[in-house]
Amino acid sequence: MVGQSVSLKAEVVGETRVSRSGQQTVRLKIDAWRQNSSEWQEIKGSILWQNAPKPLFNTGDKIEVKGVITNVSNFSEDFNAQVYWSRWGVSQSLIRSELISRPISGPNQNFVWRDMATNRLENLLQKPHLTVALGMLVGLKEKLPKALENDFKASGLQHLLVVSGTNVTLLIVAIGLCLKPLGPWYKYGIGLLALMAYLYLVGFDPPALRATLFGVLTGFAITSGFNIEYRNLFLLVASILVLIDPRFLTHDVSFWLSFSATSGILFGMPMVYKVLCFVKYKYLRLLLGASFCAQMAVFPILIIQFGSFPYAGLISNLITEPLVPLIMFLAAGGILIGDFEMLGIAYLWQASLEGSISALILVAQLFGLLMPVYVPPSVGYFGALCLLAIALWASFSAYYQRHFWQCLEVEMKGGE
């Protein structure tokens, strides 16, 4: 059917992503097809509808569309779209399309909220600062200028421009601080509603979904008084996600990156925290240790998937760790301030937000000058085996439990 003009009856499923230019990428589940005025024929399969026109389409919409079938195209030299979509059973896309019919329905509320957030921030920021803020806060994937995009990749900071578990973690911390006077179950209930609202806003991105599920289960365990070790809880969350969709293991690189980063923190933090004993402030040690452990844990996967070792990320991520929560806090505040100009607050807020993002861009540009080292995938597999061996030793070693894990727990509780 490649190259043919056909009409399709289909249902919108997944990947309803919208760029800032208004173009939408939609994955369709096909029910029937026909050519010209022939009879409808049943056919089962999936197709990618690229550059779907407005109005926005929602998951579950039943549509009839006409267009030309073509193979999925690569629009970027460093991203193989054909391989990515083939993992989801999609090898063709629909182009030069015309919408024949669709149900009468408005856009999902999350699109409305994201548009509102975008419009508010546009009053405070210009590109590329606006692009960085929207990517970090709500996951809008607008393209940066090519040179700056390459700088973020080479510096190992590209992960900051999308929604990740960091966003959810910072939201949980902020909720806990704001609701500190309330009782535990009130905090848990309000926090759960806030997490669900944020997850809906960002379109149920898998990294945010994983972090939310972990936060919900952890909060319930703590509030209920259950004594569950965090490492076991994390493995439970990972098992639940794989049971829900086993393709996470075989199709989703972000799942492995998120899983590895969190595992690195849970297993490696006690040892790294002890090595950083020369750092005076406890929370600075935690910040540095968490960033180092996460970076070391994901490097084998980066080598296996992309064949490169972005060593600059080890330092650049340590430098930008304090900037990430600051930018997210200022960007969220900028949305609330909107276009109100109360006693110059908007101007002061704008200057602070723009300065913070400028600092992040400067770090990306400086470390982007350091080209990654290209290494064979075999090195990545060897590194993964080494990290797995450390994790198994940490799980069963009495020495690790006594000299590292228990010591860290005592110090976090303020003991001696």
Question: Please, what are the domains in the chain?
Answer: 5-107 (2.40.50), 112-412 (no CATH)
* Residue-level pLDDT at 105: 52
Number of H helices, E strands in the chain: 17, 8
Rounded to an integer, what distance in angstroms lies between the CA atom of residue 48 and that of residue 388? 37
Q: Is 288 exposed, middle or buried (0-12, 13-18, 19+ CB in 10 A)?
A: middle
* Residue-level pLDDT at 9: 85
Which segments of the chain have a pLDDT < 50? 415-416
* Residue-level pLDDT at 3: 79
390 with 268: CB under 8 angstroms?
yes
Q: What is the pTM of this model?
A: 0.66
What Cα–Cα distance (Å) separates residue 146 from each residue in 51, 131, 151, 305?
21, 13, 9, 22
